[in-house]
């Protein structure tokens, strides 16, 4: 079973601060995705990273896939209250069953105005 | 938004009763999934389907069964509900199952087993 350790579990910061969320595993993933979930709703995909060392930017959010494709990070610059939510990383294996996602436990972010 | 609906959205039931949750999609996606989300555990896969009448077990399948008789519908059944099955259940769909495939999630069903 592939496991994804996500940290921190909870994060409360002031508006304008920067933050980084980490997603680590001992397993290699063919791709890694980051989702954001609002209360009472299902997760929504933010980004998919596939290549080791890949960096993707989505406005103030920067996503990086580790060189060995075992870890990833999400960095938010100048956090806004609208960034509040649950952030989930999810890894996809390779070969048979590669359509299955393994999710981390999530990081609950609160951005205080 | 992807066309995914789940019914019911909320349900309270008693231990030992059967419960069926329905997921309906209008996207004609091949893959469908059932997850449960619990505090401290994140999202865990229960069962998934890779086509009509083609299903397989996920990480936490004990006590659950599924059926898919049509592309658009994926049913999750708790044959005899237990309190440990109190959770929020999410259905998801995806098109190809490739490494870059996107899973689209429904709004969830909150199930309470008393």
**Residue B41: its pLDDT value, please?**
85
Residue among A31, A42, A92 whose CB faces B108 most closely: A42
Residue among A41, A99, A104 whose CB faces B42 most closely: A104
Nearest-CA distance B80 → chain A (Å): 26
The model's confidence at residue B26, banded by pLDDT at 50, 70 and 90, is: very high
In 3D space, the residue among A86, A81, A94 whose CA is nearest the CA of residue A38 turns out to be A86
Contacts of residue B73, defined as CB under 8 A and 6 or more positions apart, other chains included, come to B22, B23, B24, B25
Inter-chain touch B99–A94, beta carbons under 8 Å = yes
Residue among A40, A88, A100 whose CB faces B42 most closely: A88
Show which residues on chain B lie within 8 Å of chain A, measured between beta carbons. Answer: 4, 31, 35, 40-45, 48, 50, 58-59, 90, 92, 94, 96-108
Kindly report which listed range (A15-19, A27-31, A54-58, A83-87) carries the lowest average pLDDT score. A27-31
DSSP assignment of A53-105 equals T-EEEETTEEEEE-TTSSEEEEEESS--GGG-EEEEEEEE-SSTTTT-EEE--
Q: Give the mean pLDDT of B42-67.
A: 94
Q: Which residues of A touch B43 (CB under 8 A)?
A: 43, 88, 90, 103
Q: Give the mean pLDDT of B11-30.
A: 96
**Tens-digit pLDDT profile for residues A37-71:** 999 999 999 999 999 999 999 999 999 999 999 99
Distance in angstroms (rounded) separating the CA atoms of residues B95 and A46: 17
Size of interface A-B (CB pairs under 8 A): 58
């Amino acid at each position: 079973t592939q496991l994804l350790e996500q940290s921190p579990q909870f994060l409360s910061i002031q508006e304008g601060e920067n933050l980084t969320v980490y997603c680590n595993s001992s397993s290699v993933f063919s791709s890694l995705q980051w989702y954001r979930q609002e209360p009472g709703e299902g997760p929504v995909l933010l980004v998919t990273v596939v290549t080791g060392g890949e960096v993707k930017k989505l406005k103030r959010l920067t996503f990086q896939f580790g060189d060995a494709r075992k870890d990833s990070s999400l960095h938010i610059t100048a956090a806004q209250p609208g960034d509040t939510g649950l952030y989930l990383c999810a890894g996809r294996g390779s070969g048979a069953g590669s359509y299955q996602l393994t999710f981390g436990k999530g990081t609950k972010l609160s951005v205080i105005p | 938004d992807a066309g995914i609906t789940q019914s019911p959205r909320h349900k309270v039931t008693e231990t030992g009763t059967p419960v069926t949750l329905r997921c309906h999609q209008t996207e004609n996606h091949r893959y469908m999934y059932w997850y449960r989300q619990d505090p401290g555990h994140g999202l865990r896969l229960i069962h998934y389907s890779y086509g009509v009448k083609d299903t397989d077990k996920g990480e936490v399948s004990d006590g659950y069964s599924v059926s898919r008789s049509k592309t658009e519908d994926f049913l999750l059944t708790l044959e005899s509900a237990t309190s440990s099955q109190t959770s929020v259940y999410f259905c998801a769909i995806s098109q190809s199952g490739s490494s870059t495939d996107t899973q689209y999630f429904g709004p969830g069903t909150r199930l309470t087993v008393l």
